[in-house]
Amino acid sequence: MLKYPAPSLVTMALACLLALTGCAPGMTVPPGESAPANAQTPAPKIAVVNRSEKTDGTLQCAEARFKKSVMLTRVWLPTPPQDIVNLGAALSKTIAVDLLNTSHFDVKTTQATQSTGPEPAVDAFKSHGTPYFIRISGHNFGLSGQASMWSFLGPSLNPRGGTLDIRIVDALTTQTMAQTTVSAPSVNAGEYDPVIDALGTDFAASAYGQAMNQLASEAANWIDQTLVCKPLIGQVVHVDGSTITINRGINDGLRSSDRLLILQRTDRVYQPGQDAYTEHYLLQSLGTAEVARLGEHTTRIHYGGQHVVQVGDIVQSAN
């Protein structure tokens, strides 16, 4: 005979008792009262996190509130499809609109460029003050003169896709900040006859048009995620002793409590690369400054350092 009941017997006795009383574990019944026959303990609430959902940039970093100024090139297609016109322009338009809708960017666009050198980025910064230069090219959009291995299936079952190569260049140093490749899944879309305009509603409603819209949106999302936590960058536009005026303000997310770092570009530096010497700039810190008078588009800051600050020098958020 067991001195103490076995655990299994205790478990069975408890189950029988619960069945008779109608109580569930964790339930309490006032003295002299019986529990309702169908009473059940409410299940604990569990917070469910959807990890596939996009994370708001404001939760990632403080710099997400700053509106970055970017120069976006129109998508360059070396071999555009013969049956679609303005495909590069349509992709560029969607990317620009998606970036603007994030409220993280002030987007300017320029012509497509074949150049892989720093000149377009440098010229864009000199002309428009855009520190982030985004170069995009595309390929593999089908029906561009090359024979397709699926052509024997007929045009209605000839799959088409497309790929975008994206590179973000720091216009201040002319160095590549990030680059990636984004590809659209192949869809069963044959040749457009007659030729269709990618900027039109008919193309947008087609299966391939929707695939291209998704491709552009994915490109914009990558750009957003890459730049959302980068600092706000502007330029000195006027110097009056220790009072300096910059071309950034409230509309760019600047606050009166922000601290700013003043930078000065050095002369070009040449470094050996894989194929040839590459050139870039270095940034020298002149110290920090505080916001003195905040405006919508321009701001006066106070600089107490000993270095000489000139028009055209760089200011960067330093929070």
Q: 13-46 pLDDT, tens per residue?
A: 444 444 444 444 444 334 444 333 333 333 333 2
Count of Cβ atoms closer than 10 Å to residue 146 Cβ:
9
Q: What pLDDT, on a 0 to 100 scale, did the predictor assign at position 4?
A: 38
Greater confidence (133 vs 19) lies with 133
Show the tokens assigned to 142.
């089908």
Lowest mean pLDDT among 24-33, 143-152, 288-297: 24-33
Please report the pLDDT score of residue 199 as a whole number: 97
> What letter represents residue 229's amino acid?
C
Which of 46-50, 243-247, 291-295 has the least mean pLDDT?
46-50
Torsion of CA 138, 144, 149, 152, to 10 degrees: 140
Q: Which residue, 142, 208, 164, is CA-closest to 72? A: 164
Instruction: Give the range among 88-97, 141-150, 162-171, 231-240 with minimum mean pLDDT.
Output: 141-150
Give the chain's mean pLDDT. 79
Contacts of 277 (CB under 8 A, 6+ apart): 270, 271
* Nearest-angstrom CA–CA distance, 215 and 207: 12
**Bridge partners of residue 278, in order along the sequence:** 271
Instruction: Please provide the distance, in angstroms rounded to a whole number, between the alpha carbons at the two ends of the chain.
Output: 75
Residue 297 or residue 39, greater confidence: 297
Report the Cα 70 to chain-centroid distance in Å: 12
Is residue 290 within 8 A of residue 302, CB to CB? The reply is: yes
**Residue with the larger pLDDT of the pair 188 and 194:** 194
Angle between helices 207-227 and 87-101 (to 10 degrees): 50
pLDDT at 251: 96
Half-sphere exposure of 50 (CA within 13 A, CB side): 4
Helix%, strand%, coil% for the chain, nearest 5: 25, 30, 45
pLDDT digits (tens, 9 = 90+) for 161-187: 999 999 999 998 888 999 999 999 888
CB 236 within 8 A of CB 309: yes
Q: What are the chain's domains?
A: 1-40 (no CATH), 60-227 (3.40.50.10610), 233-317 (2.40.10.410)
